[in-house]
Amino acid sequence: MKPHSSLDSATWYLKYFALPLTVGAITMYKILDCFSNRKRRVALQGKVVVITGASSGIGEALAHALYEQGSKVVLAARREGELNRVKQDLIAKKLDLPVEEPVVLPLDLADLDQVENFVQKVYEICGHIDILINNGGITHRGAIVHTKLEVDQQIMCVNYFGTVALTKAILPKMVERQSGHIAFVSSVQGLIAIPGRSAYAAAKHAMQAFADSLRAEMHQHNINVTVISPGYVKTAISLNALTGTGDKHGVMDPSTAAGLSPEYCAVKIMDSIVNKEKEIIISQFMPKLAVFVRRSMPSFYFWYMARRATKSPIY
């Protein structure tokens, strides 16, 4: 059938091309989404998942995403009241599958002496750990010259040493079981560094290196390691950032306010674990471009960052 006028052409186009294509695309999306959900449930239902930094932001969103797939989630963070709020929000969900009650266990990653006792409690309650998601951490806003060494130490202790201590504490039993998955929620700034974020970027770079070594060593024990590098995410991370003096930044950065949603990131992180990916970047275009430029055109990257630091000095 051939159209005879512009109106007939439009009608013909809608009827025989646009509409079938749209319906086909929607149908395919639903099929793929159904397949993805099925794959997630098979991989995650009944698994014991420990999430640090679970009281807000990406950690809280991960708790919801994993609980909805039937995982037994262990919620860890400093603020026990907020953890209990998250737990009640999870329990209130009406799910179509059996799922065990979430576990709340306070943990301050800055206090390394807490870690062994925390892991022992998890094993006493849950018996084992299938997945550890190292998500807890703090960030930094301040020029190097105006940042006290104590701030560098605090951020390194929480973001790196606390994470390393927790990972090492759970490893022996994972190795014994020859099974497990360890995920590190790093940052794009674990791959590049920008002015005003020296302490944070250094800790995330260290985490990246530790995870790469861990991945190689754990391959023989059937333990998977995934590093997730988010870009800007709309959380309270910039509000809680430490300044050079150690005070709270208390400002929502425009880039953070316009960031990706924690829920979107949580699904991407969950899928990276299900698919046993080694590393992923979850970000807008510009941070991904920055990573590419840093790797392929370092001289240009160094020039641009120096220019950025000069035009917008950080104090």
User: Which residues are identified as catalytic?
Assistant: 200
Widest Cα–Cα separation across the chain: 81
Q: Quote the CA–CA distance of 168 and 162 in Å, as a whole number.
A: 10
Render 3-68 in DSSP notation, one character per residue.
--SHHHHHHHHIIIIIHHHHHHHHHHHHHHHHHHHHHHHHHHTT-EEEEETTTSHHHHHHHHHHHT
Q: Quote the CA–CA distance of 15 and 19 in Å, as a whole number.
A: 6
Placement of tokens 């963070």 in the chain: 77
Do 186 and 282 meet the contact criterion of CB atoms below 8 Å apart? no
Placement of tokens 């995403």 in the chain: 65
| Adjacent-strand bridge partners of 108 | none
Q: Which of 27, 10, 83 is nearest to 50 (CA)?
A: 83
In terms of DSSP bridges, do strands 223-230 and 180-185 run parallel, antiparallel, or are they unpaired? parallel
